[in-house]
Structure 1
Amino acid sequence: MAYEHILYEVSDRIATITLNRPDRMNAWTPVMERDVRHAMEASSTDDNVRVIVLTGAGRAFCAGADMDALKGLDPDDVRRASNLPPFDMNRRPDWQTRYGYYPSIRKPVIAMLNGATAGIGLVHALYCDLRFAADNTVFTTAFARRGLIAEHGISWMLPRIVGHANAMDLLLSARRVSSEEALRIGLVNRLCPPEKLREDTYAYARDLADLVSPSAMAVIKRQLYEVPFQTLAEAMIEANREMMVALNGSDFREGVASFMEKRPPRFTGR
């Protein structure tokens, strides 16, 4: 597929999806929405990809919705978008929402936040599994200052990342949040000097791609996203079931063998 508003590449078993409207601070558009969704699907089904990095070109990750598009937004657009075809028919139906398909991707998705992260840009960063940010990045939910509500599931995701009180503050005030505060409240996992952000992010991504079992990562990710819907007993039962599967898998045998033989693992994801 030819992409219009993103760049897509795969190298060293890492797929990179780059929002590519740097002249507009990567403001979100319907075309970008289509491109990102397709690229995420392509990454999720590519056996040569073990980790996905989502980032922005230029000086911003994503400064929010394109205001020209927002001015002419038809309220029916929200209704139509709720009827998108499923990301994958074999995955949980409650993950088949406009942007909530990220948890159904069986690979780690890392947001590499290279600058302003606002509104719908913050929504996408939150749906990623990990967030590495440049230490000059500024964050804002933005919605309340545009007369909008907490959109696209951010009211569910944000409290689970930063806690209820912090989420209430960030959503009600829509104030600007510094990178230092973002790290303190757990909004991001790691801060890096801008010139080292790419190096540090890809070093982490390569570590996952080269040294961690793909099958283990897939199950662990699913476990963490399913826990809010489970009791402790249900989580334990599910973990025991998955442990039996893992013990019979080739990744477990390879993990033990590589440790005993003091060599890098050669995981297959099985």
Structure 2
Amino acid sequence: MPDLLVELKDRVLYLTLNRPDKLNAMSAEMMGGLLDNLNRAATNPEVGAVVVTGAGRGFCAGGDIGAMRERNESGRDGAAQTIEERVASLRRGEEASLLLHEMPKVTIAAVNGPAAGAGLSVAMACDLRIASDTARFGTAFAKVGFSGDYGGTWSLTRLVGSAKARELYFLGDMISAEEALKLGLANRVYPAASFRDEVHALASRIANGPTIAYSYMKANLNAAITHEFKELLDREAWGQTMTARTEDHREAVKAFLEKRNPMFKGQ
């Protein structure tokens, strides 16, 4: 079986991390496939939203600890690559987080179970995090003597604030879905029994919504993290003017006045 499963359903692209026997710990095949599919989805008009989730009982445990031990005990750690080459290799993989954050499609992490280390970082790079009530979240890096990657320090600081992010990184404790919801780390929590159906209902609602407007919204919301208010006003004025020219806007206005649901086409 491949380490990444790909399915397009109702304009929702599902990217399922597929190493359930290892709680979907990352592999080169998995992360290469994730990056390739995100790149294609970014410009595919048939994709209205992207969901990243995990097979089995976990979302993603982060790095493969067993592979790390084999590498360390074999004495091959770093022998075949310079430090610069290893940094460049990791940085290429981290582009998956950047794409999830910046691509002009709404991205959703469907956290069905434990999300730890770089797995949590990938989830936090998404626009929304929908959690099963059996999900757990943890940075985990301190427990294996790592400092963190895949953008987690940036994302967590912005999601929960600097003080709480430091606590979660330094201690590495796992927290429940309900605590993640209270902190703002998770957007919604659903019962495990109905989780897949709830995720699909939400994702398909977004995927079949005004996707052009969503792309401008996402860009503005990302810019709001670091840009000044005046710059956001300029961006919003531009986006509002451009979306006013779309067929989706005209259809939505007509549907509102006719008291019916709009039929968006992404045009």
Query: In the alignment, what sits opposite 2:141?
Result: 143
Instruction: Summarize deviations over 1:99-126 as a string: whole Å, max 9, x none.
Output: 3221221111111111111001101100
Pairwise CA RMSD: 1.9
Do the aligned partners of 2:133 and 2:191 also contact (CA within 8 Å) in 1?
A: yes
Q: Are the equivalent residues in 2 in contact too, given 1:29–1:69 (CA < 8 A)?
A: no
Write the letter of the residue equivalent to 2:44: D
**How does 1:28-67 map onto structure 2 within 5 Å?**
28-67=26-65
Structure 1 window deviating more from structure 2 (159-168 vs 61-70): it is 61-70
The 5-angstrom pairing of residues 41-190 of structure 1 reads 41-71=39-69, 72=71, 74=78, 75-76=83-84, 78-81=86-89, 84=92, 97=95, 99-190=97-188
CA shift for structure 1 position 35? 0.8
Q: CA deviation at 1:11?
A: 1.1
Superposed CA deviations along residues 217-265 of structure 1, whole A, max 9, x for unmatched, are 1110111111223110111111111111122222211110111122332
Structure 1 residue 215 corresponds to structure 2 residue 205: no
Which residue in 1 is equivalent to 2:246?
Answer: 249
For 1:239 and 1:137, the matched residues in 2 are separated by: 36
Q: Which amino acid aligns with 1:237?
A: D
Which deviations, in whole Å up to 9, do the C-alpha atoms of 1:114-168 show, x marking residues without a partner?
A: 1111001101100111011111211110111111113232111101111111111
Instruction: Work out the CA distance in 1 between the residues paired with 2:239 and 2:190.
Output: 36
Q: 2:19 and 2:183 mapped to 1: Cα distance?
A: 30
- Describe the SS at the equivalent of 1:229: coil
Distance 1:146 1:222, change over 3 A: same
Q: Could you tell me how far apart the structure 1 residues matched to 2:103 and 2:86 are?
A: 23
Distance 1:61 1:82, change over 3 A: closer
Kept after mapping to 2: 8 A contact 1:110/1:130: yes
Structure 2 Cα separation of the partners of residues 229 and 81 of structure 1: 28
Q: Which runs of 5+ in 1 are unaligned?
A: 86-95
Does residue 236 of structure 1 match 2:244? no
Q: Does 1:224 align with 2:232?
A: no
2:169 alignment partner AA:
L
TM score, norm. by length of structure 1: 0.89
Which ranges of structure 2 fall in alignment gaps of 5 or more residues? 72-76
Work out the CA distance in 2 between the residues paired with 1:33 and 1:263.
Answer: 42
Between the two proteins, the alignment pairs up a number of residues equal to: 257
State the shift of 1:80 in Å.
2.1
Letter in 1 for 2:130: F
Does the 8 Å contact 2:5/2:15 carry over to 1?
yes
- Counterpart residue number, 1:192: 190
Give the Cα separation in 2 of the matches to 1:98 and 1:242. 26
Change in Cα spacing, 1:200 to 1:139, as seen in structure 2 (3 Å) is same
Aligned mates of 1:4, 1:136 — CA distance in 2: 25
Q: Following TM superposition, by how much is the alpha carbon of 1:39 offset from its aligned partner in structure 2, in angstroms?
A: 1.5
In structure 2, do the counterparts of structure 1 residues 254 and 133 end up closer, same or farther at CA, with 3 Å as the change threshold?
same
Q: Deviations over 1:26-49 (max 9, x none)?
A: 111111110111121222222111
Kindly indicate whether the alpha-carbon contact (under 8 Å) linking 1:82 and 1:97 is maintained by their aligned counterparts in 2. no
Q: What SS class does the counterpart of residue 55 from structure 1 fall into?
A: strand
Q: How far is 1:76 from its partner?
A: 4.6
Task: For residue 98 of structure 2, give the secondary structure of its aligned residue in structure 1.
Answer: coil
SS in 1 for 2:53: strand
Distance 1:170 1:114, change over 3 A: same
Q: Which amino acid aligns with 2:246?
A: G
Distance 1:126 1:245 in 2: 29
Letter in 2 for 1:79: V
Give percent identity, aligned residues only. 34
Give the letter aligned to residue 191 of structure 2. Answer: P
Question: Counterpart of 2:97 in 1: which secondary structure?
Answer: coil
